Amino acid sequence: MAQNGGEINRKSEKVRRANRVIQNRTMILMAVLGVLVFVILLIKLFSLQILRHDELEAKALDQQTRSTEVTATRGTIYDRNGNIMAISATAETVFLSPLEMDRALNDKDNPVTWTKDSVAQKLSEILEINKEGILKKMERTDSQYEVLKLRVEEDVADQIRTLINDEGVVGVYMVTDAKRYYPYATLASQIIGFVGTDNYGLYGLEARYNDVLDGQTGLVVSTKDPTGNDMLYGYEQYYKAQNGSDIVLTLDATVQYYVEKALSEMVTSTEAQGATGIVMDVETGAVLAMASSPTYDLNDPSAVYESRLAALVKDGQLDLADAQLRQWRNRAINDTYEPGSTFKVLTLAAALEEGVIDENTTFDCSGSIQVLDATIHCSNRAGHGHQTLEQTAGNSCNPAFITYGLRLGTEKFYRYMKDFGLVNGSGIDLEGEALGIFAPQETASELDLACYAFGQNFNTTPVALISAQAACINGGYLHTPYVVERVVDSSGNVLSSHDSTPVRQVVSEETSALVRQCLEYVVSSGTGRNGQVHGYRIGGKTGTADKGNTGDVVLSFMCFAPADDPKYIMLLTLDSPTGEGRGGGGTVAPYASRIMGEILPYLGVEPSYSAEELLGSDTTVNYVIGMTVADAEEKLKAKGFSVKVIGDGDTVTDQTPEGGTVIPGKSRVILYAGSEKPDTLCTVPSLVGLSPSEANMAVSSAGLLLRFTGTTDSGSDSVRVINQSEAAGAQVEAGTVISVQLSDSGVTD
Amino acid sequence: MQQSAVHKRLAFGRRSTQRPPRQASRPESIPRAPAGRMDLPFLLLTILLTVLGLVMLFSASFPSASYKQGDPAYFLKRQAIFALLGMAAMVVMSRMDYHRLRGMAKILMYVSIFLLALVLVPGVGIKENGATRWLGKVGVLTFQPSEIAKLAIIVYFADSISKKKNLMESFKYGVRPYILTLAFFAGLMLLEPHLSGTILIVGTGVVMMIVGGIDKRWAIGGLGGVAVLGFTYVKLVEAGVISYGADRIRMWEDPWIDALDEGYQMCQSLIAIGSGGLTGVGLGKGRQKFLYLPEEHNDFIFAVVCEELGLIGAALVMLIFALLILRGFWIALQARDRFGALLVVGIMTQISLQTFLNIAVVSGLVPATGISLPFFSYGGTALALQLFEMGIVLSVSRQIPAPRGG
């Protein structure tokens, strides 16, 4: 190298140094740009993709997916015969997605022909809601779900669909939602209850069984681009909606209907504040009917249904909210009352069971009884005189029952109150059962006990009382009353069903039989005579109770049938009737009789007639058209009908009444043999207030047939017709059966 | 002895005597043909990145392509054509002697100055998003003069610096002319305005000056000055003294405060990256590209890579970039002369700066600015030019002197 000379050496030294600098600096650059920056980037990506993965993924899912709820169908409520009491049907809910609407409006690539204002205008016209409200919701542009209207009908939904499609409106959507329908409207309204706007049960069984009826809402999660369209390669996840379970009730719509109809008439005619009625299976505690008046329409629960109540609201005498609460109340379980004389059934049973009285006990009533410092009068101030045990019940003699109660003593009396379920309630599977209100046992005086013995000064609910009464007559077994027979899931599997094992036996079979005997006497010969039902042995007890010191009374009547082998028990109460006081036996028992007369044959309880009754008992007219006149006559006469033939043919061409009609047994059947059946109509005479014989005369002369219901003790002079099945003046076909109900207006408790 | 080994490889002026006989037989009018084979690893990495880029471009662009163009492969087809053209340019360039570029340095400079000025003439440049950066005809062929300017600066600086040797240490010859040149270009480009392009050109130029041998003090002082300036700028913006770029800084610090408007793009990018997780949602299965993530096939394509391929896939892509860059700089170290070395340093610096800044922007590491990802982002002329530049590197690699001895 040295030989190359200084010139070259100096130059190559400079070059060498320059090259060395490039070399060194390139290597540093290599380390920085080839390694260091990528390490930095990797750390940054690690922090985003691993450390913040969950947070950012949640944000991604939040914006990329739209979940649509699939409403689960709420379970159906059936009565015991499968009649639908409450059912859910689908309806559309209209909602806005202001976010998407805003994006569509701001998307300059795809201009739209509509504005927020124009859409709001059209929506407000279709949905009949305030336009300003819609515009306000449209301004919540960070929201994707603003409900415009819940559950619109199908024709409205169609109009919305047309609007969306024709104008290409983005951000207006509908989801299918369920709406609750109550086919029977007012029937058993307080038992069924209703749901709120969110389909959440608010009252009655809808509330109590909300978790059972309510299904599991399903969800469809699908990926969407910002304009709301499905992604080309998106995914969709479907969470199946789990429909709610159905519940089958013990209620019988038909029985419920008869009870409600009678209650309504009873309340209207007496201008009472309200009434309750319960029909129960004595052997299981199954409630066949439970009614409260005033009632309401389940399909429109906030409207005041009963006209009298509505009038009060209109006059400003009653707040709307108070009126609503009053009609929503299930008085049979929510409200307590002083039961009065119907309670004597329990005193009787307890006293018999404890042996402080027996079937041979007699009692002399002087018209009042002295307890401590107080004199308690009997309803008959003159006194009932000498009475047998049955008669003390039949007369509803207060001094007698006070005596029975005092013989029991406080301790035993309270024990029976507890055993009968009066203190702690019946335990019925409905919301809000009130407990009994008694003085504490330690402080209860003899006077308290005396009053308790005839059903005053303490409070209980109708449902607790009827359960206890059922125990007194069914052999002594206390059952928990219930309305839900079973729960069935949407696939038909029974999830649970009621176990009607009795809670306890409170009194013995023998005691129970004696109680039944006394109570049958009450209806056959005592204060409960108006509760008689043609063809049935009825037991019962009347009640007229003071409502504290208000001067108002609660009238009631408990009855059961058949009296010797009870199947069904019913308790009616009437709160604060106006007009002349005729007591439970005079006012309530006739309605009880009517209901029993309607429901017992329906429920398959066979009537049993005495020989005397049989002659006049209802008989079905044979279908005889086409038979020879002779054969027809023979057939009909064998049933006890008298026969009149019009025309001179050999064959029966027509008949009045028609075959299959049920008419009183001794009525006349007209056969037409070749002759035309006249189509002239007969006018129904006015019968109310007439005696049975007067009514019979009036009906016969009108060319009609008569049937009596209610009390048939024609021995009493005070028996009068209280209502008739066909209104006076109505035009009906000849031979139509007019039913009239008789009532003994002389009865007092 | 180590010094001499380095010296041997960068021994300028001696190659003429060592030219292989094959080339010596060629006529003088034909450029000096490269002696050896081109660098195979670098070529393979380039092809790998190009193919990977096309795959990801298709994955990222098919939703918007089908929404807006009605053809899912719209962007892929156009990019693929330019990829082929670029490959051809790369092959041609790799077979050419890169010294021929010396002669073109000045011409390239004039052309790019002309074009940068032309784009500013009202009615000539194509305006997009408030900036006039494009020339050509929309829908047929458009390109950014700044892309050509980048190449011009690299070639010009390499030519000029390589001639100055030790003079680079002086301010007068080593710093002033280059700074002035860069300032001139920066001025033209900021008029468009084109901040990201300016950053890339100035960054590449400065790196070339430093590598080229300017005084250490200038290098450290310059870099330190830029750092202090940047830091002061951010602080002044935060303090509210400076309002220019304030939104950009604010959105960089926390894009979520305005996730629906100003910070929308950044948030969507972070969501895409973050939701990818370790393994990603799967190639082609990304969801953010469905109109959520803007510029998903341009500047933000790497977010789609992260979403679909996860951290593992993203790291692999970055590894390939890193290998390409490392191999590039290795070629620079082996280059037979300073010109070749500086040429490759310039090209690789530009590629790596662009890659780093792109990923840094997408992941929120630095404030947002529109820098595309080499080989991945949609842009035909840019891709073709990048491939042409790879051709230059390959051309340099062909003249690496064979290790002597043995």
B74 CB-contact burial (10 Å; exposed 0-12 / middle 13-18 / buried 19+): middle
Per-residue confidence band for A232, with pLDDT thresholds at 50, 70 and 90: low
pLDDT at A2: 42
Query: A42 to chain B: which residues are within 8 Å by CB?
Result: 315, 318
> For chain B, what's the residue count?
406
CB-based contact A258:A595 (threshold 8 Å): yes
User: Among A262-271, B122-131, B324-333, which range has the highest average pLDDT?
Assistant: B324-333
**Other Cβ atoms within 10 Å of A194 Cβ, number:** 23
Q: How much is the mean pLDDT over chain B?
A: 85
Mutate to test the interface with B, among A9, A29, A43, A48 (most CBs of B within 10 A): A48
Distance CA A289, CA A187 (A): 10
Contact of B294 with chain A, judged by CB distance below 8 Å, is answered with no
Residue B367 predicted with pLDDT over 60: yes
Per-residue confidence band for B22, with pLDDT thresholds at 50, 70 and 90: very low
Residue range B44-63: average pLDDT? 94
- Closest partner residue to A226 (CB to CB) among B68, B165, B291 is B291
Give the residue with greater pLDDT, B82 vs B2. B82
Query: Where is average pLDDT lowest: A424-428, A626-630, B135-139, B300-304?
Result: B135-139
ipTM score of complex: 0.89
CB-based contact A474:A568 (threshold 8 Å): no
Give the residue with greater pLDDT, A720 vs A390. A390
- Cβ of B275 within 8 Å of Cβ of A57? The answer is yes
pLDDT at B9: 45
- Closest partner residue to A233 (CB to CB) among B260, B285, B330 is B285
Strand partners, A387: A363
Determine what percent of chain A is predicted with pLDDT higher than 90.
Answer: 35
pLDDT at B10: 44
Q: How many helices (H) and strands (E) does chain B have?
A: 15, 3
Tokens 């009909």 map to which residue?
A636
CA distances for B212 relative to B158, B162, B178, B205, B225, angstroms: 8, 7, 11, 10, 19
CB-based contact A742:A719 (threshold 8 Å): yes
- Closest partner residue to B341 (CB to CB) among A22, A48, A234 is A22
Tokens linked to A422: 């009066």
Quick one: chain B helix, strand, coil %, rounded to 5? 70, 5, 30
Compare all CA atoms of chain B with the CA of A28 and give the residue at the minimum distance. Answer: B211
pLDDT at B287: 82
pLDDT at B164: 86
Residue A394 predicted with pLDDT over 60: yes
Mutate to test the interface with B, among A11, A43, A49 (most CBs of B within 10 A): A49
Per-residue confidence band for B12, with pLDDT thresholds at 50, 70 and 90: very low
Tokens 């792109």 map to which residue?
B358
Tell which residue, A480, A462, A448, has the closest CA to residue A343.
A462
Q: What are phi and psi of A605, to 5 degrees?
A: -85, 115
Distance (Å) from the alpha carbon of A216 to chain B's nearest alpha carbon: 30
Query: A232 to chain B: which residues are within 8 Å by CB?
Result: 62-63, 66, 290
Residue range A56-70: average pLDDT? 79
Per-residue confidence band for B13, with pLDDT thresholds at 50, 70 and 90: very low
Distance CA B178, CA B208 (A): 10
CB-based contact A111:A204 (threshold 8 Å): no
Query: Where is average pLDDT lowest: A33-37, B256-260, B363-367?
Result: B256-260
Tokens linked to B328: 């590039």
Global confidence as pTM: 0.57
Tokens linked to B361: 């922007």
- Cβ of A57 within 8 Å of Cβ of B364? The answer is no
Residue B34 predicted with pLDDT over 60: no
- Cβ of A64 within 8 Å of Cβ of B287? The answer is yes
pLDDT at B157: 95
Mutate to test the interface with A, among B271, B343, B355 (most CBs of A within 10 A): B271
Residue B2 predicted with pLDDT over 80: no
- Cβ of A38 within 8 Å of Cβ of B291? The answer is no
CB pairs under 8 A between A and B: 170
Q: What is the DSSP letter of A434?
A: P
Residue B29 predicted with pLDDT over 70: no
Q: How much is the mean pLDDT over chain A?
A: 85
Per-residue pLDDT reduced to its tens digit, A468-488: 999 999 999 999 999 999 999
Per-residue pLDDT reduced to its tens digit, A103-147: 888 877 778 888 888 888 988 988 888 888 888 888 887 777 788
CB-based contact A50:B277 (threshold 8 Å): yes
Give the residue with greater pLDDT, B111 vs A671. B111
Give the residue with greater pLDDT, B25 vs B313. B313
Determine what percent of chain B is predicted with pLDDT higher than 90.
Answer: 51
Per-residue confidence band for A627, with pLDDT thresholds at 50, 70 and 90: confident
Mutate to test the interface with A, among B62, B275, B302, B343 (most CBs of A within 10 A): B275
Per-residue pLDDT reduced to its tens digit, B106-144: 999 999 999 999 988 887 888 877 777 888 777 777 888
Residue B96 predicted with pLDDT over 70: yes
Per-residue pLDDT reduced to its tens digit, A91-114: 788 888 888 888 888 877 778 888
Residue B252 predicted with pLDDT over 60: yes
pLDDT at B16: 42
Per-residue confidence band for A616, with pLDDT thresholds at 50, 70 and 90: low
Query: B42 to chain A: which residues are within 8 Å by CB?
Result: none
pLDDT at B20: 43
pLDDT at B15: 43
Query: A16 to chain B: which residues are within 8 Å by CB?
Result: 3, 7
Residue A512 predicted with pLDDT over 80: yes
pLDDT at A610: 52
Per-residue confidence band for B305, with pLDDT thresholds at 50, 70 and 90: very high
Tell which residue, A258, A299, A293, has the closest CA to residue A279.
A258
Residue A736 predicted with pLDDT over 60: yes
Q: How many CA atoms lie within 13 A of A234 on its CB side?
A: 23
CB-based contact A433:A333 (threshold 8 Å): yes
Distance (Å) from the alpha carbon of B114 to chain A's nearest alpha carbon: 32
Compare all CA atoms of chain A with the CA of B325 and give the residue at the minimum distance. Answer: A34
Residues 178-237 of B with CB under 8 A from A: 207, 210-213
Residue A693 predicted with pLDDT over 60: yes
Residues 6+ apart with CB under 8 A from B116: B145, B146, B149, B185, B188, B189
Compare all CA atoms of chain A with the CA of B168 and give the residue at the minimum distance. Answer: A18
User: Among A94-98, A586-590, A605-609, B13-17, which range has the highest average pLDDT?
Assistant: A586-590
Residue range A568-580: average pLDDT? 90
Compare all CA atoms of chain A with the CA of B281 and give the residue at the minimum distance. Answer: A57
Query: B273 to chain A: which residues are within 8 Å by CB?
Result: 45, 48-49, 56
Which DSSP string do the residues of A187-223 spell out, in sequence order? TTHHHH--B-TTS-B-SHHHHHTHHHHS-BPEEEEEE
pLDDT at A609: 59
Distance (Å) from the alpha carbon of B308 to chain A's nearest alpha carbon: 12
Distance CA B119, CA B133 (A): 7
Query: A38 to chain B: which residues are within 8 Å by CB?
Result: 318-319, 321-322, 356
